[in-house]
Amino acid sequence: MIYSSHVNKVLTTELQKFQVRCYVSKTSGIESLQKGIDSLLNDRTYSCPLVISTADSREAFKETEKLVLTKGQKIVLEVLAKGFNREEAADILKLKMTTLNNHIARARELNDCENFEELLRRYRFWDLLN
């Protein structure tokens, strides 16, 4: 069972691969949570109304896609996700600042991230699932 405040098409697609039977958004209220638990205990599937409407939506908006990263980019983002600034990360990883900035710039470009904050947000989002 997934009980999360995150609901988007990319996530619902990924969770289908794992045959998740119950998916309830925290914003759907206690009734939906109760239905999800009941369905789980009775070997049934259940998705709250928000999850269903999100999965069925035809609206175009930017999804939180998984990042495609090189090993070096992953290492840089891992350190930065821990709260270190770029200078500290460069020292920790024993990289030149230019190299660190290039890893970030290429990761942003490859993954169509508008800014560093989006790149880091997407890294943190998918890193929790791995």
Task: List the domain range (segments joined by +) for residue 15.
Answer: 2-56
* Structural domain contains residue 51: yes
CA max distance for the chain: 57
Average pLDDT rounded to a whole number, residues 110-118 = 89
Q: Say how far apart CA 69 and CA 72 lie, in whole Å.
A: 8
* Structural domain contains residue 62: no
Give the CATH number of the domain where residue 92 resides.
1.10.10
Task: Tell me which DSSP letter residue 74 carries.
Answer: H
Residue 61 has pLDDT above 60, yes or no: no
Q: What's the alpha-carbon Rg for the chain, to the nearest Å?
A: 18
* Structural domain contains residue 66: no
- Give tens-digit pLDDT for 7-46: 888 788 888 889 999 999 887 888 899 999 999 999 999 9
The candidate with the shortest Cα–Cα distance to 120, out of 70, 79, 60, is: 79
Q: Which pLDDT score is estimated for 9?
A: 80
Q: Is residue 111 a contact partner of residue 68, using CB atoms and an 8 Å limit?
A: yes
* Structural domain contains residue 34: yes
pTM strictly above 0.85: no
* Domains of the chain: total: 2
For residue 99, which amino acid is it? Answer: T
State the pLDDT confidence band at 59, using cuts at 50, 70 and 90.
low
- One domain for residues 82 and 122: yes
Both structure tokens of 82 = 């821990």
Q: Say how far apart CA 31 and CA 48 lie, in whole Å.
A: 9
- One domain for residues 75 and 121: yes
